[in-house]
Structure formats: C-alpha cells, structure tokens
Amino acid sequence: MDLGLKDKVAIVTGGASGIGEAIVRILAEEGAKPIILDKNREKADSLAQELVAEGHHISVHILDLRRENACTEVVQEIVDTYGSIDILVNNAGINDSIDLDRPMKDFVDSLEKNLFHVVTMTRLCVPHLRYSKGCIVNIGSKVAVTGQGNTTGYAAAKGAIHALTREWAVRLLKDGIRINEVLPAETWTPLYEQWINSMPDGQERLKEIVARIPLGKRMTTPREIADMVVFLASDRASHITGQQIFVDGGYTHLDRSIR
C-alpha cells in the first residue's frame, strides 16, 4: 500500500532505538525523509548510515530534548534545510520508576524526560505543521489508563500525553492538523529487555507477562507499533484525529485470564 509519504519531512524524537528506530525504518521504506532527534550519537549515526547505504534520506540531530533552546535551534535548522515539517512523532521517553518515595526534584526530572519535550516540540512544530497541513503522533503507554505501581513520574507524564492528545486535537482542528496517540503495552524493546535482565528471576517474570497477553501469548514488536504510527501519519488516515489506539494484543482491555 502506498501511504503517500514520499518526501514527507518527519521528525522522530528518540528515533535511534526501540520503537523510534522502527518508526524511522518504516518512514524511510515509505519514501519519507525521517529526521532522528536523539541524545545517543552512536546509535543514531549507526542507524542513519545503514539506511543511507540502502538509498534512503536520513538526517540526525543530537541533542538533549530537555533543553528548550536546543529544540528551538533544531526545529529552525530543519525548516531552513527542508523548507517544511510534515510529521512530528513524539516518541522519546523512558519508564524510570520514579515513585512517591523519591524527592520532588526527581519527579520533576521524570516529567522533563517524558512530558516537557512533548509540549516543547509540539509548540515549536505547530506553525510549520499548520502550513503543511501535517500531523502529530504521540507515543503513549497503557500505564496512563491501567497504572503500574512504582512509577509515579512516568504515569503522570503519559497520563498528561493521553489527555493532551485530545486537547490538542480540538485545539488544532481549525488548522487542519491531525493528532493521534498510539499506546503500547508489553513491547519487546532494548529497554524492556534490559529491565527483564536486571531481575534475578527475569525469565520467569517474562513468561508470566507473556502468558497474560491475550492475542498470541507473545510480546508486541516495535514494528507493529511503528506500522500503526506510520499509518496514522499518512494520507490514508486523513480523517482520523483525536484517537487513542492501543497496539497491545488486547493486553489493556481484554480479560487477562483468557486461556
């Protein structure tokens, strides 16, 4: 299926690994021009070199998304280089386990890592998306609707993103800018693997989690998340906005006791 993304300029925050990497790869396959915004130069450059060698157009900007000035400079540089911005994917974030027993400064730091840059990048890109009639896709989390325990900062950030997706969809209707959210649950990313391996009984814990995923009793892949993200960013989703879509094998909403 041709998604009509050829030459579309698409910013992907946290695009060097995990779900972000999968999004970048599919955007490139569809002929778009993905722009990776990430703090990990080694991973970002490696991915870009691989995709460029395959004939795709990729660019990389290394920055700390928590620094508003750095975000401002990067967005301006992108516009100066490409002339427009068509797609913004707010993907960057990490489940950092900042809970109620941590100091307030740690909670604020968690919001900076997971929420503040979403607001910053959206605010900076909206004037250009208004011109291109572009779109935004936010990456949320099932934690925003189910809770998880021991992750107050991340839950607050993803809860805010969940609410802001609808708020901004309303706010941007007259500008012709669509905005949607994709919510993963149990997705096998490098960070998830790292979390499993950090536990002495990690493999047993993984088996328990997988057994509770209704569809196929398996983890969601980053590419399955990315497929939905790229579809929502395309012209094939031209009348979809304000939607919060779970790509999770039924984990969030179906009875996990299903056998």
Q: Which helix (H) or strand (E) holds 178?
A: strand 178-184
Overall domain count for the chain: 2
Same domain for 128 and 146?
A: yes
Catalytic residue, candidates 82, 131, 154, 251: 154
Same domain for 239 and 215?
A: no
Same domain for 151 and 205?
A: no
Averaged in consecutive runs of 10 residues, what is the pLDDT profile of the chain (259 residues)?
Answer: 94 98 98 98 98 98 98 98 98 96 98 98 98 98 96 98 98 98 96 90 94 96 98 98 98 84
In a domain, 196, yes or no: yes
Q: Which two tokens stand for residue 144?
A: 């925003």
Between strands 178-184 and 135-139, the pairing is parallel
Which residue, chain included where needed, has tokens 């012209």? 235
Same domain for 115 and 71?
A: yes
Closest among 154, 162, 153, 158 to 181, alpha carbons compared:
162
Determine contact, residues 224/247, Cβ cutoff 8 Å: yes
pLDDT given for residue 257 in this prediction: 73
pLDDT given for residue 50 in this prediction: 98
In a domain, 4, yes or no: no
- C-alpha 220/C-alpha 74 separation (Å) is 32
Whether 131 sits among the annotated catalytic residues: the reply is: no
Same domain for 24 and 77?
A: yes
Same domain for 196 and 136?
A: no
Q: For the whole model, what pTM was predicted?
A: 0.97
Determine contact, residues 79/85, Cβ cutoff 8 Å: yes
Q: Other C-beta atoms within 10 Å of 80: how many?
A: 8
Which residue, chain included where needed, has tokens 């925050």? 13
Same domain for 209 and 226?
A: no
The boundaries of the domain holding residue 207 are 187-219
Same domain for 104 and 196?
A: no
pLDDT given for residue 16 in this prediction: 98
pLDDT given for residue 137 in this prediction: 99
